[in-house]
Amino acid sequence: MLRFLFLILVIPRLYSGQTIQDCKKRFHTYLNFREQLSNRVEFTSDAIFFLNRKGQKELAVYQHEINMIAEFFENTTPAEQMEFIRKKGLTKYSKRQRDSLWILMDDDKKPSKRKRQKPLQGYRIAIDAGHFAANIQEARLEQKFLAIVKDSLRSPGDTSFLFEAELNFITAQLIQKKLEEAGATVFNPRKSKGLTALGCSYADWFRLYRERTLDSLQRCKELSEERAQQLKLLSPYKLFWAFFRDFELAHRARLINQQKPHLTLIVHYNVDEQNAPWIRLSSRNATMCFIGGAFTADNLSKTESYLHFIRMVLSNQLNESEKLSALTVTAFSNRLQINKAHTEDIDYLNDNCLKTNSEGVFSRNLMLCRLINSPLVYGEALFQDNVMEFDRLLQAVSSTDKTPLTSRLASVAECYTEAVINYCKNK
């Protein structure tokens, strides 16, 4: 696969040039959670310095290198990025060195400008349908389900279940259909309801592939022998939380990044946090979207996170994610008639997130928001345990073979589609 091309001639590029000021603004708007990273980056009039854990400058990015290095971090592996930091350090590249490092993007990395017959022709869009549990055993393990006892409407003890993974998956399929009709090429890392991104259920993975996976991670030194042995002894529930959850999310991100999407939609439904343990319905509802950012000092202790952080400071992916997310949350609010969430009303928005300049859009260092290498929206359209929504969602899933186009899930899918089309129109 063509990754680098060391060019002798300068190829003129159409760039909306990033300045040091742009990066500084991005760092403060999206990334520097409670000023915890102020000692890891220094912005001067002619350079951006990234500092290691000991406070020593280890990478300088000068004004005219920003675009090149941003692109480098969007197109290379962690090992290549570490090597780059080690070699470049604080040196200032000559024009020749800079030009020699330009990465020739795959021709189709940017959507082709040929006259489009359809609004999304030429776009590759990934859709991640959150979670995977579609039965009560796996949902208990993943802790993403509602079991509501509806004593007023039905006989006491009659419990209705909603599995978030199922809502996400049906919604993703509806979005996929609409985006494909609009000309996009769509990729979904999960092939069927109830399957993880590894192509099997968690129960099957645990039974058939657990040992093999842990052994191979041990062989390539991603796990120590001791850790791999410990993990092998864990119960399905404990192994899910100690290992599988993050392992599967990283696999989703890897599959998505391989497709080099122009955009990624991450589809979830929320609950009212004040309504835990979610055995009855709530009157509250709110809509919100997340993008990456909001790194804490601890987050940067892992090399891989530090490299993602550098990419996010230098490239304009976060700004693009905010635009896409602002369009999405506005579509949710208008079409679904739900108010946008505010920091004061919800603890995790206050405790873990940075609010952006777009109402209802928050930076949050969720794993997929960090690992996925494209502009993205992580949508949380509504509260499933809201008294009105719960019934609408139950209705939508009870006719799973053919989700009515008037269902609540279809309306949510319409919001994502509208936001994508508007976003691409403005590009």
Residue 358 near residue 322 (C-beta atoms within 8 A): yes
Nearer to Zn ion, 119 or 194 (CB): 194
Q: Count interface residues toward Zn ion (CB under 5 A).
A: 2
The answer to whether residue 130 forms part of the interface with Zn ion (CB under 5 A) is yes
| Residues between 260 and 319 that touch Zn ion (CB under 5 A) | 268
Give whichever of 72 and 269 is closer to Zn ion, judged by the CB atom: 269
Residues in region 145-204 near Zn ion by CB under 5 A: none
Q: What is the nearest approach in angstroms of Zn ion to the Cβ of residue 271?
A: 9
CB count within 10 Å of CB 29 equals 17
- Of 65 and 164, which has the nearer Cβ to Zn ion? 164
What does R_g of the chain's alpha carbons equal in angstroms? 23
Nearest to 411 by CA among 332, 330, 341: 332
Selected range binding Zn ion among 76-84, 127-135, 291-299, 322-330, rule: CB under 5 A: 127-135
Q: Measured from the CB atom, is 130 or 360 closer to Zn ion? A: 130
Nearer to Zn ion, 383 or 423 (CB): 383
Q: Which two tokens stand for residue 165?
A: 């993974």
Residue with smaller CB distance to Zn ion, 41 or 393: 393
Cα separation of 267 and 169, whole Å? Answer: 8
In 3D, which of 64, 70, 3 has the Cα closest to residue 373?
Answer: 70
Least separation in angstroms between residue 244's CB and Zn ion is 16
Q: How far is the CB of 197 from Zn ion (least distance, A)?
A: 15
**Those residues with Cβ within 8 angstroms of residue 178's Cβ, 6 or more apart along the chain or in another chain:** 413, 414, 417
Calpha distance 124→259 (Å, rounded) = 8
Minimum Å distance from CB 60 to Zn ion? 40
Rounded CA separation 310/69 (Å): 10
- Does 360 engage in binding with Zn ion (CB under 5 A)? no
By CB under 5 A, residue 370 contacts Zn ion: no
Q: How many other CB atoms are there within 10 angstroms of residue 223's CB atom?
A: 19
Provide the mask over 81-120, with x wherever binding to Zn ion is found by CB under 5 A and - wherever it is not: ----------------------------------------
Least CB distance to Zn ion at residue 291 (A): 16
Dist CA 322 CA 356 (whole Å): 8
The least CB distance from residue 322 to Zn ion, in Å, is 21
**Phi, psi (degrees; rounded to nearest 5) at 108:** -95, 15
Give yes or no for a cis peptide into 404 (omega within 30° of 0). Answer: no
Instruction: Kindly state the smallest distance separating residue 143's Cβ from Zn ion, in Å.
Output: 10
CA 102 – CA 95 distance, rounded (Å): 11
CA distances (Å), 122 to each of 107, 137, 180, 372, 374, in order?
Answer: 12, 41, 11, 20, 16
Q: Which stretch binds Zn ion (CB under 5 A): 125-133, 151-159, 170-178, 295-303?
A: 125-133
CB of 353 to Zn ion, least distance (A): 15
Least separation in angstroms between CB 91 and Zn ion? 45
Of 124 and 131, the one with the shorter C-beta distance to Zn ion is: 131
Choice between 165 and 336, CB closer to Zn ion: 165
Contact 165, 132 (CB under 8 A): yes
94 secondary structure, DSSP code: P
Q: Which stretch binds Zn ion (CB under 5 A): 86-94, 124-132, 195-203, 410-418?
A: 124-132
Residue range at the interface with Zn ion (CB under 5 A); choices 58-66, 83-91, 128-136, 205-213: 128-136
d(CA 277, CA 81): 44
Comparing CB distances to Zn ion, the nearer of 103 and 146 is 146
Q: How far is the CB of 290 from Zn ion (least distance, A)?
A: 11
420, 179 in Cβ contact below 8 A? yes
Residues 6+ apart with CB under 8 A from 19: 63, 66
Q: Give the x-and-dash track for 241-270 against Zn ion (CB under 5 A).
A: ---------------------------x--
Nearer to Zn ion, 26 or 268 (CB): 268
> In 290-386, where does DSSP find H-type helix?
303-314, 317-336, 347-352, 367-371
Q: Which is nearer to Zn ion, 331 or 368 (CB)?
A: 368
Q: Could you tell me the smallest distance in angstroms from the CB atom of residue 200 to Zn ion? A: 21
Residue number with the smallest Cβ distance to Zn ion = 268
**Phi-psi group of 34: left, alpha or beta (phi > 0 → left; psi -120 to 50 → alpha; rest → beta):** left
Q: Are the C-beta atoms of 243 and 218 separated by less than 8 Å?
A: no
Residue type, 98: R
One character per residue 19-58, x = contact with Zn ion (rule: CB under 5 A): ----------------------------------------
Residues that bind Zn ion (CB under 5 A): 130, 268
